[in-house]
Amino acid sequence: MKLEQIYNNKDLTISFEVFPPKADEEKLLEELKIIKKYQPAFVSLTCGAGGKGNKSFDLISKINDIGFDVMPHFTCISSSFESVEEGIKAIEYLGVDKILALRGDIPEDITLRKYDFNYANELVKFINEKTKLSVGVAGYPEGHIESADLNSDILYLKNKVETGADAIFTQLFFDNLKFYNFLERVGKEGIKVPVVAGIMPVISKKQVKKMTALARITLPKKFKAAVEKYDGSELVKFGIDYATEQCLDLIKNNQNKLHFYTLNKSYSVSKILDNIRS
């Protein structure tokens, strides 16, 4: 189902993000089978950094075969028009009807302007010209790490939507107020497509360290203190409780579109969904 149809209602709509595992695809498929009962609208499948598009065609089909609709992510930085056209058409040929169009992080060894695509809005336009895929894009409640400020980042986001994006998927956040502020500013800019909240349950200190090094993500006091205090299963439990509170607050504020960064694990997401549905 296309993104515009998926989000064309006020019901709680969830989706799960996974990444292609380095080794054990079967393990990922088993984890997905466990969370199938929560009836996600789709599973989104990331692609590696470095701008090589998304060539996980086998995995897309396997996820499809166990009963999930799939939204592959697709990065364009350092790719040619030809390779992107080939990639997106191959994805469409698999029977997929939606894609997340991304620029991708700039690889260290190239200069941005040497290639055919500079920014994600160019990819959105290209996908719309070449395919019938519905197109999601990334949004950053606290501003993208390269942007001067949130305002300019939202103007570029508007550009992506005006070019033809059908939905916005946000980077994870731990402070819902940042998300509500983002929604308000997005609304003021006249951006009308659905904005889907990115939720990531914390499972390790290393994960928090990595995320905050790569992106602008505020850690609220309570969150920071818990990450310092807890480890192992205690931290996993805190992560579940914290994400549950975030989701309940979002739902209370009529934000029913939730995208879970699963990290290829079913445990925390299952607990959160059990909590919010009980």
Inter-helix orientation angle 232-252/267-277, to 10°: 40
- Among 25, 85, 105, 189, which residue sits at the site for ligand FAD (rule: CB under 6 A)? 105
Backbone angles phi, psi at 75, to 5 degrees: -100, 150
Contact range with ligand FAD by CB under 6 A, out of 95-103, 107-115, 187-195, 238-246 = 95-103
Residues 115-154 that bind ligand FAD (CB under 6 A): 119-121, 138, 144, 146-147, 153
- Among 28, 59, 99, 102, which residue sits at the site for ligand FAD (rule: CB under 6 A)? 102
Closest to ligand FAD by CB, 37 vs 113, is 113
> Which segments of the chain does DSSP mark as H helices, in order?
3-6, 25-35, 57-65, 81-93, 120-130, 150-162, 176-188, 205-214, 221-229, 232-252, 267-277
Name every residue whose Cβ is closer than 8 Å to that of residue 161 and which is 6 or more positions away in sequence.
Answer: 137, 168, 191, 192, 193
Closest to ligand FAD by CB, 16 vs 238, is 16
Residues 202-261 that bind ligand FAD (CB under 6 A): none
Token pair for residue 126?
């290209």
Per-residue binding letters, 54-93, with ligand FAD (x by CB under 6 A)? -------------------x-x------------------
Name every residue whose Cβ is closer than 8 Å to that of residue 153 and which is 6 or more positions away in sequence.
Answer: 140, 143, 144, 147
CB 101, CB 127: distance < 8 Å: yes
Provide the 3-class DSSP secondary structure of residue 166.
coil
Residue with tokens 């445990």: 267
Active site residue 17: yes
Write down the least CB distance from residue 188 to ligand FAD, Å.
17
Residue with tokens 């058409």: 89
Closest to ligand FAD by CB, 169 vs 238, is 169
- Among 38, 156, 180, 267, which residue sits at the site for ligand FAD (rule: CB under 6 A)? 156
- Among 47, 91, 200, 227, which residue sits at the site for ligand FAD (rule: CB under 6 A)? 47
Catalytic residue from among 17, 31, 122, 142: 17
Closest to 174 (Cα-Cα) out of 213, 211, 205: 211
Closest to 272 (Cα-Cα) out of 118, 33, 249, 255: 249
CB 135, CB 164: distance < 8 Å: yes
- Among 15, 79, 131, 171, which residue sits at the site for ligand FAD (rule: CB under 6 A)? 171
Write down the least CB distance from residue 104 to ligand FAD, Å.
4
Residues 9-38 that bind ligand FAD (CB under 6 A): none
Size, binding site for ligand FAD by CB under 6 A: 23
Write down the least CB distance from residue 141 to ligand FAD, Å.
10
Write down the least CB distance from residue 270 to ligand FAD, Å.
21
Provide the 3-class DSSP secondary structure of residue 139.
strand
Q: Is 168 in the site for ligand FAD (CB under 6 A)?
A: no
Which residues contact ligand FAD by CB under 6 A? 46-47, 49, 73, 75, 100, 102-105, 119-121, 138, 144, 146-147, 153, 156, 160, 169, 171, 198
Question: Which residues have a catalytic role annotated?
Answer: 17
